[in-house]
Each structure stands twice: as C-alpha cells, then as structure tokens.
C-alpha cells in the first residue's frame, strides 16, 4: 500500500471511529505534569522521543540505501516504518494531540450538523485540563467557549475560523515544529517515490534527517536547556513559587552563555540580546506582580521565535533548489520581528516596542520585494496591508488582532517555504 494512501486511511479511520478511540489513545499516552517541576515534557518523555527519533533515522538510512540501489519498493517500506514511528512520537506531545482532535472537529464540521460537532468538542474538552501553563489554559478555554458559542448559532464558517484560531493558540513551536517538518518532508519523499523520482525523494529524506537530528541530539543542547529553564520559571512564577522562578532564570542564563559559545554568526546578535535581557531580569529580585511574570514569559516566547527562525532557515535552504526565490533570509527576519511585535503587544503590553518591531519587519519586507516573483506579489501585498492594519490597531488586545498576526505569519511561512 502506498504511504500517502495509508496515511489518509488512518486519518479516515480515526474520524470514523470517533472521539472515543482518539481519547483512549490520548489517555494512554498522556503523562501528567509533576507539580514540583511542571514542564511540557518530562525527562522520561524527552528520552523516549529522542530514542524514537534515532529509530526513525535508522529507517531513513535504510530508505536512502534502497534508493541508491534503485529499490523503490524497499524505500517505500522503510518510509512507512519511519512515518509510523513519527506518529508514535507525536502522541507524546500534548499540543500535537489536541491539534489532531481539533483538526478532526474541523473536518467533521464540513459534513455534520453543528450540534453534532458541539457534542464532539464536549468529549475532548477534558483533555484541555492537562495544559500545564495556567495562562495558556485560560486562553484555550476562552477560545473553546467562542467556538461553542458560534456552533450553537449554527454558524459553520465562524466556527471553522474559531477552531483554526484555537489550533494556532496551541502551537508549541520548538516542540512540535521539527517533528511536523520531518513528517512533511517524508510525505514529500513518498510522493516522489510514487513518481519514480528517487533523487528528489532522497533530498527530501535528507531534509527530514536534519529535523530528526534536532530532536535526537538537540533536545539536550544548551539552547534547549535555556528554553526549558525559562518555561519552568514562567510556570513557577504563575504558581507563586518566586524562589523557584529565580532559580530557573539563573539556570537559563548559564545555559544561554553556553549557547553563545556555539552560536554561528547568523542569529548571534538576537541571542546576545535575549541573553542580556535574561541576565538583567535575573539580576533583579523577582517580586510579586504581573509585570515580572509577563517578562519571564516574554523571554521564553522570544526564545521560541528564535528556534522557529533556525528551522525556517534550515527548511528554506533545502527547498531553495525547487523555488524561483534566490534567498528567503529577509522574509525569515520579517517573520521573526512580527513574532516579537506580538509578544510585546500581548505578553508585556509594551506598545512602543511592538511598534518598533513592526517597523523592522516592514523594512525586511521592502528588502525582500525585489526578489518577489509575479505569483508571490499578491501574498506580499496582503502581508504589507496586514502590517498597516496592525499598526493602526496597536493599542487593542482583542481576538481580531491575534488572528491578524496569525494570518500574516501563515502567509510569510508560505512565501518562505
């Protein structure tokens, strides 16, 4: 059986089986967060995911060997095994599981009555309680409430928009993104093998290997440790554990110093800026009040954006050979500063800093414009108009603004990749 058909069949089976089967899988895979060290993944899960990434890499090495020997069926078999293991890895991530459940709800919305979809959502709602970040949990519940409201009014179009916004809210960039990209490249490879194009399939597999290496070996890198420490500090602060939050900041600062020793020229300046802000906040006594908590969370979110940028560069480099664009660097930098603007607007409330980041994003877009092809001009114009609207409504903190950021980010991602 072809891999793409197998993937579609599995998705169809999950939809037919309904939420009960999906939730049973969810319940067996989820690991409850440890109250004394709340994080999105436990050390045990880290090890399991890293081990499975290594397993997948072995299947991919065999697939590439089969391609070199013109054994297409053997390569397809190995890719099928690799995709199966990736599916098992995705089940370890809370946000990935929730996104799959919401994606299933969106598909159901296309062929079922809104009240049936509403009943489906009521079955998966308890899974949201396992979100360890109190602020994210609150936002997710509010978003789910908006979905339920429009479903009760039988507004399918509005419900789909709200479900899409909820999925965007649940994206955890550095956890799920490398795995999602690895899966995307393997599906591309499977498609190319179906067309007997082994050389292109081999390149796609090589790109997938890059992302899996991040999971297998980068999980314990200094920057990864920085991010884990910042996230723990944010969660500890939200739970009223001020001393633990201070310790987390100190650990993040030490890990960041190690990251800078290994950093290349590209991105060093942003890492140095983040490190300076971590050290500045660490030097202060972490006091009670929302501002300190927002500052810690903003540092973590900025780190997530930097990790996202690294993945963008890696993926764009692989895809350059099949694109008319000669360089996506300016678009990647524009996307980074768009992320920063959203963080300053919604996390710390620094409107002036948010406006500054939007201006930087605009400057990178202007640099990218000369390289824009005819087919990309409409998308570029949409991004530029979106930035103008964001600047005009900068003082607001409503759902429409968040959706606007998400829309622009999606368009930029499409232009980059």
pLDDT tens digits for range 330-371: 999 999 999 999 999 988 889 999 999 999 999 999 999 888
Query: What region does 42 belong to: left with phi over 0, alpha with psi -120 to 50, or beta?
Result: beta
Domain coordinates in residue numbering, the chain = 3-170, 224-317, 323-417
pTM over 0.75: no
Q: Is the pLDDT of residue 58 over 70?
A: yes
pLDDT of residue 291: 62
**Fold of the CATH domain 323-417:** 1.20.120
Q: Is 289 helix (H, G, I), strand (E, B) or coil?
A: coil
Dihedral angle computed from the Cα positions of residues 383, 300, 33 and 213, in that order, rounded to the nearest 10 degrees: 80
pLDDT of residue 359: 95
Q: Is the pLDDT of residue 68 over 90?
A: yes
pLDDT top residue among 74 and 52: 74
Q: Is the pLDDT of residue 33 over 90?
A: no
pLDDT of residue 60: 94
> Which of 34-48, 70-84, 357-371 has the least mean pLDDT?
34-48
Q: Which two tokens stand for residue 10?
A: 């599995």
């Amino acid at each position: 059986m072809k891999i793409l058909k197998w993937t579609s069949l599995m998705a169809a089976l999950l939809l037919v089986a309904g939420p009960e089967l999906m939730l049973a899988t969810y319940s067996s895979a989820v690991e409850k967060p440890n109250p004394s060290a709340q994080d999105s993944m436990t050390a045990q899960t880290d090890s399991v995911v890293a081990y499975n990434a290594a397993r997948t890499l072995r299947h991919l090495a065999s697939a590439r060997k089969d391609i070199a020997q013109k054994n297409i069926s053997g390569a397809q078999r190995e890719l099928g095994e690799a995709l199966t293991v990736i599916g098992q890895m995705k089940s370890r991530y809370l946000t990935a599981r929730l996104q799959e459940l919401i994606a299933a709800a969106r598909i159901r919305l296309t062929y079922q009555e809104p009240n049936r979809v509403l009943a489906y959502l009521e079955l998966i709602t308890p899974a949201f309680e396992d979100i360890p970040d109190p602020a994210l949990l609150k936002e997710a519940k509010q978003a789910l409430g908006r979905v339920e409201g429009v479903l009760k009014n039988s507004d399918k179009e509005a419900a789909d928009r709200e479900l899409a916004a909820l999925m965007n809210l649940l994206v955890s960039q550095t956890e799920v993104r490398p795995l999602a990209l690895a899966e995307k490249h393997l599906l591309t490879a499977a498609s190319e093998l179906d067309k007997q194009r082994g050389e292109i399939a081999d390149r796609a597999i090589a790109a997938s290997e890059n992302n899996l290496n991040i999971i297998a070996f980068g999980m314990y890198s200094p920057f990864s440790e920085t991010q884990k420490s910042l996230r723990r500090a944010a969660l500890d602060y939200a739970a009223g554990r001020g001393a633990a939050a201070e310790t987390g900041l100190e650990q993040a600062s030490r890990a960041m110093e190690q990251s800078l020793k290994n950093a290349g020229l590209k991105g060093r300046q942003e890492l140095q800026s983040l490190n300076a802000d971590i050290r500045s906040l660490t030097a202060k006594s972490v006091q009670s009040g929302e501002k300190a908590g927002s500052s810690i969370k903003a540092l973590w979110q900025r780190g997530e954006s930097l990790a996202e940028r690294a993945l963008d560069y890696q993926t764009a480099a692989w895809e350059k050979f099949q694109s008319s664009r000669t360089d996506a660097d300016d678009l990647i930098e524009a996307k980074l500063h768009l992320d920063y603007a959203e963080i300053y607007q919604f996390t710390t409330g620094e409107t002036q800093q948010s406006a500054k980041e939007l201006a930087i994003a605009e400057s990178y877009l202007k640099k990218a414009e000369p390289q824009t092809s005819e087919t990309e001009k409409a998308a570029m114009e949409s991004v530029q108009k979106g930035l103008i609207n964001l600047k005009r409504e900068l003082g607001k903190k409503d759902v429409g603004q968040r959706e606007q950021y998400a829309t622009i980010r999606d368009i930029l991602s499409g232009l980059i990749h």
